[in-house]
Chain A
Amino acid sequence: MANIKKSPWVLHYDGSSCNGCDIEVLACLTPVYDAERLGIINTGDPMQADIFLITGGINSQNEETVRQLYEQMPRPKVVVAVGVCACTGGVFKDCYNIKGGVDTVIPVDVYVPGCAARPQAIIDGLAQGIEIFQERLDEHRAKKKNEKSAKGVSA
């Protein structure tokens, strides 16, 4: 089956984070960590993205945006929540406008803990996300193949 592990393009969305995690995400792209060596590109376009990386929690204003961005991404897609805010709501959890972590609106595949999450942890989270990304494609392919063969039998 097609190997798509080598080209995960990331869409980075900043929820209601304190910007601490966002700086660490950008640090992943700097010469020290150089995430591009894994083929990772930080794209701003959901139509071209494979991994949805979110920092910060969900509030009533960005809820709709997050859902829309997720729906605009073509399948297979993976969601990575970076920082405790994105995982559970973190220090902002009890604020009146915070709904909680990213999983309150869309399914999250990888949780990267930390406040702020370290670049090493973020890259590790992305690497796990890449595995899931490949699995999704394989599953989809297998399902399609089964459907086809089932049709062939009935016809």
Chain B
Amino acid sequence: MKTGIILMIAYVLLAPFIGGFLEGLDRKISARMQRRVGPPVLQPFYDVKKLLNKQTISVMTAQTFLLITYMVLMVLTGAMFFYGTDILMCFFVMSTAATFLYFASVVTSSPYSSIGAQRELIQMMAYEPAVLLTCVGFYLAAGTFNVSEIASHDMSYILQLPGFFIAFVFILTIKMRKSPFDVSTSHHAHQELIKGITTEMGSKNLAIFQITEWYENVFVMGVVGLFFINSSITSIIGAIAAILVVYFLEVLIDNSSARVKWADMLKISWIVTLFSAGVNLIILMIIR
């Protein structure tokens, strides 16, 4: 209980810094993969600082409110997760947060951000099955949805849930807006939808969006860690190593693939989910 509270406070306070730092590393590594020097590692923080100092122009005043709700719900998701409550509940709150992002984008009625928002919904359709199956997998293996009980098991669940892990890492590419699945908005310049879902977000609103992304990334990386963590202290090192490897893998995929069409994204992600998580699910049910 006590560690739960400490972890929760640590998440709320430190997640933006960890998330921003990870993004900085991401941009540096991407640059090196393209044989460029790349921006400094602290670049994401410089960007947010500048955005906060610019004049606020918003097409709809409601947008700021919706974005703040998006951020609050996302912080709540992570806080609940690190506190150690129900993992299913965490993902439900995360989906609610994503819906607010959708609304923040469509209220502007700009065609680019509206199409981006619609694609965001399609992305949700693509990753939700894998996310829900991950919860089911944890339940079948641990007999509980409770994060703190899952984390204090004496064996890492990756051994029982490798298929679920593959499915989850696969949909992380969608969740983290990495190529080939960055259909709703892209970190890279010039996509066909200008900036997709963030087209009408400038200055402070974009900063809020950016910080929320960092919270979100730290949360999903926490879920990756949950596959590896167990009751022994040393497993924390293993979990962190796994998180870094997964993050590097995402950067590598991002830099080595081109964007696919949304229909392909839906097909591929569902097929991967069905095969890896589905097969794992059947095996798990037979063993039990």
Q: Out of A4, A29, A48, A76, which one reaches B195, CB within 8 Å?
A: A48
Which A residues between 43 and 91 are near B, CB-CB below 8 angstroms? 43-45, 47-48, 50, 72, 74-76
Q: CA of A36 to CA of B200 in the docked complex: distance in angstroms?
A: 23
Q: Out of B34, B39, B55, B194, which one reaches A39, CB within 8 Å?
A: B39
CB contact under 8 A between A39 and B46, given known A47-B200, A74-B203: yes
Interface of B is mostly: loop
> Count of chain B residues with Cβ under 8 Å from any Cβ of A?
31
Interface size on A, as a range, is 20 to 34
B31, B56, B202: residue with the most chain A Cβ atoms closer than 10 Å: B202
Nearest B residue (CB) for A41: B189
Is the CB of B57 closer than 8 A to any CB of chain A?
Answer: yes
The answer on a CB contact under 8 Å between B199 and A4 is no
The answer on a CB contact under 8 Å between B49 and A7 is yes
Provide the residues of chain A in CB contact with B38, threshold 8 Å.
Answer: 34, 36-37
Nearest B residue (CB) for A141: B53
CB contact under 8 A between A6 and B190, given known A72-B57, A74-B56, A75-B54: no
Provide the residues of chain B in CB contact with A74, threshold 8 Å.
Answer: 54-57, 202-203
The answer on a CB contact under 8 Å between A43 and B195 is yes
Which B residues between 180 and 217 are near A, CB-CB below 8 angstroms? 189-191, 194-195, 198-203, 206
CB contact under 8 A between A4 and B202, given known A37-B36, A44-B189, A44-B195: no
Nearest B residue (CB) for A10: B189
